[in-house]
Amino acid sequence: MAEYLNPTVGCEKLIKILREKGITDERVLDAFRKVPRHLFVDGAMYAQAYDDNALPIGNGQTISQPIVVAMMTEMLELKKDEKILEIGTGSGFQTAILAQFSRRVYTIERQRELGENARKRLRELGYINVVCKIGDGTCGWQQFAPFDKIIVTAGAPVVPKTLIDQLAIGGRMIIPAGDREKQELHIYDRSELGCKCRVTGDVTFVPLIGEHGW
């Protein structure tokens, strides 16, 4: 475990693991190099920051497993000039990864303490293209809709229509949906003819709480 105390060594070992698990987008892997994951976890978890595991961040929430972050980011097929909505800021790690690829990231966190901590952390790290909000993410953020990409980092019982409606033509949304113990990733692509959905991969996220969630 001692090598993980060196962020550079730990990060490169994590990237090797991500490659072995099927991540091929070099832009995503490079984003992991640029976002120091140890700064998004509690000090007691520092030595585990570059393991491929989810870790507790307080308030019953977790920082997602790196392979899940990388996989969902890769699935979004991000471009540099897009407007992204993230539901579930959490620690802000996924937010920082998204910020590498977007014109602006709008991120919503339900729990005030987590949201304020993430806002402060992202500001200190220089992410000026991130806008944070404390509120019910299941309602989306109508003020800035439509969004080119939407990513939800909590498990929903059903996919909220409010979020589908805020997806731009040509846009994509990724959301885990299922029961409280296990979900599947739902990928929505919107065209002028409507939305097409495909389902892939079992995942486990904390519950999506809100008016259109649990």
Looking at the domain that runs over 64-203, which CATH code has it been given? 3.40.50.150
The least confident of 41-50, 146-155, 189-198 is 41-50
Q: Which two tokens stand for residue 206?
A: 């904390």
pLDDT digits (tens, 9 = 90+) for 71-82: 999 999 999 899
pLDDT confidence band for 31 (50 / 70 / 90):
very high
**Among the options 64, 91, 102, 191, which is catalytic?**
64
pLDDT at 2 over 50: no
pTM for the model: 0.95
- pLDDT confidence band for 4 (50 / 70 / 90): low
Residue-wise pLDDT tens digits, 169-179: 999 999 999 99
CA proximity to 197, closest of 154, 168, 164, 152: 164
Q: Which among 152, 113, 114, 110 is positioned nearest to 134, based on CA atoms? A: 110
Write the single-letter amino acid at 154: A
Active site residue 64: yes
The half-sphere exposure of 152 on its side-chain side, counting CA atoms within 13 A, is 39
